Structure 1
Amino acid sequence: MGRIFKERTSVDEALELFFESFSSLSHTEEVPLEACTGRVLAEPVISGRDVPHYRRAAMDGYAVRSSDTSGASPSNPVFLQLSDCVEEGTAMWVHTGAVLPEGADAVVVVEDTVTAGNMVEIRAQVHPGKNVGQAGEDIKKENLVFKEGHLLRPCDAAVLASLGLDMAKVFRKPVVVVIPTGDELVSREKAGQVPPPGMVLETNGLMTALYVEKWGGVPRHTGIVPDRPESIKEAIEANLDADMILLSGGTSVGKRDHAPEVVESLGKLLVHGVAVSPGKPAALGVIGKTPVVCLPGYPVAGLVALYFFVRPGIRKLGSIPKVPEFVFRRRLAAKISSKIGYVNFVRVVFEGDKIRPLTGKAGVLSSVAKADGYVLVPENIEGYEEGQEVDVFLIE
């Protein structure tokens, strides 16, 4: 690609090229229901039984024949004999969830009754089925419960358990290798004190791996790789068994930026230079069937590339449905300036019912930690004025 950005690809076009280069994983596995939250069903779930599988009382009270309560009211109560079975003229105490006795077709709630010895005074008329849960009322046998591709939640696990299931067949999580590159990096494990000038702790890999895990992938964090093409190539080749490769650093056009050209030498470089700020040096490629994202070394720029390409990439690999993001409409407490021709990722904080943009260079990660959310300014707009309403996305 040379040592300059020959072209700047729009975010939408870059993502489209990226998605066209790889397919979703087809591998599946079975996991216990206790571990199924956040996993994606790999097959539809058809109920093998009615839920509930019996008629049950839906309220505490007395099981009765509804015909025995005809005309009952507080001023004209009906008296029934207490019994351990239900037949004409009798009533039987039941609690919520209990099996409805044979002969009963309704339940009179306890609030509409008064007991006196072995008799119960019924003060309300009930119709057949009143306060009764029918067999299959929740789920009927052979009903479709969940479709393939459903993202499982704790409440879904409870539904699966009610069907008598212990395991769920789900798509395997994508394995995503994180390869930090840079001669200036020092491993956190080896740094007993403040690194010397010109050296920095390797933290982008930590952030990247945690986001991979949060978004449904399995991160595999390698050691630091020097800024040498042959070293980067060896690290990539040693991890081609992964489902996605993330290279952190070395994506720009300086003398020590080799990641994109190494990707190109091993496979196909789809994009180098994206119309997003910060994050322009991001590069996308594919080696064989393995997608590769080259993340800028500046932390905020790297974070933007994670949001724009790695998160949707993991979703596609793992067949993870996109969950709608929380979007807030807020007025600006100050003007936002942006570059024409770029999607601008602007960090903001909440101030009462307004938001204020934060300033900070792409290398200052604390500006993200201080932010509550971000505003995306489209490439065809030169910022927003103070007082203007904008969409605000929360930073995960």
Structure 2
Amino acid sequence: MGRIFKERTAVNEALRLFLENISPLRHAEEVPLEACEGRVLAETIVSGRNVPHYRRAAMDGYAVKALDTTGASPVNPVLLQLSDSVMEGTSLWVHTGAVLPEGADAVVVVEDTVTTGNMVEIRAQVHPGRNVGQVGEDIKKEDLVFEDGHLLRPCDAAVLASLGLERIKVFRKPVVAVIPTGDELISRGKAGEVPPPGMVLETNGLMTILYVEKWGGISRYTGIVPDRPESIKEAIEANLDADMILISGGTSVGKRDHAPEVVESLGKLLVHGVGVSPGKPVALGVIDETPVVCLPGYPVAGLVALYFFVRHGIRKLGSIPEMPELVLKKRLAAKISSKTGYVTFTRVVFEGDMIRPLTGKAGVLSSVAKADGYVLVPENLEGYEAGQEVDVFLIE
């Protein structure tokens, strides 16, 4: 006899309960700048030097005393002597980035000059500091450059390198164990032949580990675990050293769905059954302070659970700042229907300036691969009408 869900928890409430039971990892490790992109700083960076540390020419041209260019113009050029030093009435050629010679306080760009023999015509007046990079113009010594918790980008690595740094402290990435379950699953290592009826290749695990890595975690794939409570229990206990455990499959209420009950027997089951479609069978729990997510076996439902819960969980574990999502405003080319009481995840494709909803059951993952983005219909609405403007989130 089939079981039923005891209750259905709203998405936002389920996420709140889940994140409440996650503590950020604060362990730091050193990495070279070449590997810092996407990592989170575990230290505050204060500059130990001026950048630049010398006055430099900001353009190709002639270093001069600005006073010597007073009144210079194309019709009234000023003649200066070319020299190895800059004094009153002389100038010196400089390349971009070169040290500004003693005595010079400006650079006349080469386009505003004409050279004849050992004389140069200055055809533009410049003021002191023109085309000159001053000491500390970019960063001054003792400047606060980055605070801890900053998510590092390639441009940030270049700034850190300009300070003379080679390695920095970042927070350790969370280790996420991925446990696929199901007697019907066949390893992709045996993918040479078409599986017999009733058997399928295990692909949810692949999708899951790639999203874990994309969102800032380190994945640990365990291999397929049979639909037996004792086997699931052993797999969980063997991975309690991970920072998060994801169990794929066995989350519904059928006779072979044991994952939530096993989690409850080992720790605390926070939620089983969420108001999201597809994805209702997701379960959230915690075992010995290790957060656990039981992902539905249907691929799209599993993907929804990854987006709604795992992504946020990894970010909290890794102290990764929540970044605003790119949201597009588009009009619907066709109606979207949904059921009240559930946040509905609807896949869509772009059609010019509009979007069209894609149909597809929760087990049809190709509908996600074909989609450009998704629309979330709130739980209090029965859908959106054709022509209505909606928010579109891009599929990562």
Q: TM-score range by the shorter chain?
A: over 0.9
Cα distance between partner residues in 2 of 1:130 and 1:197? 77
Cα distance between partner residues in 2 of 1:345 and 1:9? 16
Query: Contact 2:187–2:224 (CA<8 Å) still a contact in 1?
Result: yes
Q: Which amino acid aligns with 1:90?
A: T
Cα distance between partner residues in 2 of 1:71 and 1:186? 83
The aligned residue for residue 316 of structure 1 is 316
Cα distance between partner residues in 2 of 1:68 and 1:353? 59
Deviation at 1:313, TM superposition (A): 0.4
Query: Following superposition of structure 1 onto structure 2, how do residues 168-247 of structure 1 map, counting pairs within 5 Å?
Result: 168-247=168-247
Deviation at 1:29, TM superposition (A): 0.5
The aligned residue for residue 152 of structure 1 is 152
Matched, 1:54 2:42: no
Cα distance between partner residues in 2 of 1:311 and 1:9? 19
The aligned residue for residue 68 of structure 2 is 68
The count of residues paired between Structure 1 and Structure 2 equals 395
Cα distance between partner residues in 1 of 2:362 and 2:296? 10
SS in 2 for 1:189: helix
Query: Following superposition of structure 1 onto structure 2, how do residues 1-396 of structure 1 map, counting pairs within 5 Å?
Result: 3-396=3-396
SS in 2 for 1:155: helix
Cα distance between partner residues in 2 of 1:86 and 1:59? 17
Q: Deviations over 1:73-96 (max 9, x none)?
A: 222221111001111111000011
Q: Which amino acid aligns with 2:148?
A: E
SS in 2 for 1:312: helix
SS in 1 for 2:271: strand
Cα distance between partner residues in 1 of 2:177 and 2:359? 32
Task: Answer with 14-23 or 185-194: which moved more.
Answer: 185-194
Deviation at 1:127, TM superposition (A): 0.9
Q: Which amino acid aligns with 1:107?
A: V
Q: Deviations over 1:335-366 (max 9, x none)?
A: 00001000000001111111110111101111
Instruction: Give RMSD over aligned pairs.
Output: 0.9
Query: Contact 2:348–2:358 (CA<8 Å) still a contact in 1?
Result: yes
Which TM-score applies when normalising by structure 1?
0.99
Deviation at 1:190, TM superposition (A): 2.6
Cα distance between partner residues in 1 of 2:185 and 2:158? 47
Task: Answer with 142-151 or 241-250: which moved more.
Answer: 142-151
Cα distance between partner residues in 2 of 1:88 and 1:347? 72
Cα distance between partner residues in 1 of 2:273 and 2:250? 13
Q: Which amino acid aligns with 1:364?
A: V
Q: Deviations over 1:155-193 (max 9, x none)?
A: 111111110000121001100000000111111113431
Cα distance between partner residues in 2 of 1:78 and 1:297? 80
Cα distance between partner residues in 1 of 2:200 and 2:72? 82
SS in 1 for 2:355: strand
Tell me, which stretches of 5 or more residues in structure 1 are unaligned? none
Task: Answer with 183-192 or 99-108: which moved more.
Answer: 183-192
Query: Contact 2:22–2:313 (CA<8 Å) still a contact in 1?
Result: no
Q: Deviations over 1:18-67 (max 9, x none)?
A: 01112000111111111111111111111110001100001111101111
Cα distance between partner residues in 2 of 1:216 and 1:35? 13
Task: Answer with 234-243 or 120-129: which moved more.
Answer: 120-129
Q: Which amino acid aligns with 1:297?
A: G
Cα distance between partner residues in 1 of 2:241 and 2:291? 11
Which TM-score applies when normalising by structure 2?
0.99
Cα distance between partner residues in 2 of 1:181 and 1:10? 26
Cα distance between partner residues in 2 of 1:43 and 1:14? 32
Cα distance between partner residues in 2 of 1:334 and 1:69? 68
Deviation at 1:68, TM superposition (A): 1.1
Cα distance between partner residues in 2 of 1:71 and 1:254? 89
Cα distance between partner residues in 2 of 1:255 and 1:214? 34
Q: Which amino acid aligns with 2:90?
A: T
Tell me, which stretches of 5 or more residues in structure 2 are unaligned? none
Deviation at 1:140, TM superposition (A): 0.5
Cα distance between partner residues in 2 of 1:142 and 1:331? 51
Cα distance between partner residues in 2 of 1:240 and 1:113? 72
Cα distance between partner residues in 2 of 1:191 and 1:141? 59
